[in-house]
Amino acid sequence: MRATAVFLLVLGQLALCQGGWRCTQGHQLNEALAAQVDASLGQAVATDTNGQAYSLSGDYWKALPYANLKHVSVGEAGIWGIDASDHIYKYVGGSWAEVPGLLIQIDAGGDGFVVGVNAANHIYCLASVYTKHYNGWKDIGGRLKYFSCGPYGCWGANSGDQIFFNPLTSAATCSFSGWQHIGGLLKMIEVGTDGNAFGVNGNGHVFQRTGITKDLPQGSGWHFIRCLGTMKQVSYDLGTIYGVSTTGVIMKATA
């Protein structure tokens, strides 16, 4: 086992119940260090530093067909990915089908729709009625470097790490009610299917947005999840945080 993995495992064991979260080392990828992970609806996917994508099957990561992917996402709309040249793919029938458009980050966690941002920080949404036809990306306005959606709306971070929330009004038409600036600074943020949001700041610290309800979808504050250590990216599903440390180790935190 790599020395870094051992260190992080010990760190997790020393802080199992800190802040209401139990942090442990997760299942590791087969051939290389992890680059990114995403979880939704009881599924998890990941990429490694060689561009190999995986899906979690029980206690093991199963390699998907190779497509040199740097980012993958799973949700109601299926499994989607972005390759090293920003091309978009959807996993269909055991292989990757290329989708028109170019993005640097993609999120399939919304209510049947898909969102993402391109290299110029333009924000796009593929409405639920178009996810099977792969065409119909809609520029929803604004500029973000990371964008993720859940049942109540979408969260994002801009190039200055400022945080924004946009309530969803229609998944079928990719319609939103307007941007709201949220206090704090994060370099990325992800939303679960229950509306809970988690993000990572520039120091690699993980934060949970607290106070989120249907009536207050933007929440009311931030909670620092110390026991995860220093992370570069996180995702959340069904009471579990999945994350990739700055050393490429997959970590988990359960409530």
| d(C-alpha 173, C-alpha 10), whole Å | 47
> Are 23 and 14 spatial neighbours (Cβ–Cβ below 8 Å)?
no
Closest CA to 190 of 168, 214, 209, 166: 209
Cβ count within 10 A of residue 226: 13
CA distances from 19 to 7, 208, 223, 255 (A): 20, 11, 9, 9
For residue 14, the surrounding DSSP H or E stretch is helix 3-14
| d(C-alpha 130, C-alpha 173), whole Å | 10
Q: What is the pLDDT of residues 34-80, one digit of tens each?
A: 999 999 999 999 999 999 999 999 889 999 999 999 999 999 999 99
Q: What is the pLDDT of residues 86-141, one digit of tens each?
A: 999 999 999 999 999 999 999 998 889 999 999 999 999 999 888 887 779 999 99
> Are 140 and 126 spatial neighbours (Cβ–Cβ below 8 Å)?
no
Q: Please name every residue paired with 117 in a beta bridge, in sequence order, or none if there are none.
A: 105, 123
Note the pLDDT of residue 19. Answer: 60
Q: Is the pLDDT of residue 11 over 70?
A: no
Residues 6+ away with beta carbon under 8 Å from 57: none
Closest CA to 183 of 201, 168, 196, 167: 201
Instruction: For 138-177, give the secondary structure using H, E and C.
Output: EEEEEECCEEEECCCEEEEECCCCEEEEEEEEECCCCEEC
Residues 6+ away with beta carbon under 8 Å from 73: 38, 40, 45, 79, 80, 81, 106, 107, 108, 109, 114
191: pLDDT confidence band, cut at 50, 70 and 90? very high
Note the pLDDT of residue 131. Answer: 86
What is the residue-averaged pLDDT of the chain? 92
| d(C-alpha 101, C-alpha 208), whole Å | 32
**Can you tell me whether residue 227 is helix, strand or coil?**
helix
Tokens representing residue 186 in the block: 């994060």
The range of the structural domain enclosing residue 15 comes to 3-229+237-254
Instruction: Lowest mean pLDDT of 10-14, 16-20, 131-135, 193-197, name the range.
Output: 10-14
Count: domains in the chain = 1
CATH code for the domain in which residue 33 is found: 2.130.10.30
Instruction: Lowest mean pLDDT of 16-20, 190-194, 216-220, name the range.
Output: 16-20
Note the pLDDT of residue 7. Answer: 40
**Can you tell me whether residue 18 is helix, strand or coil?**
helix
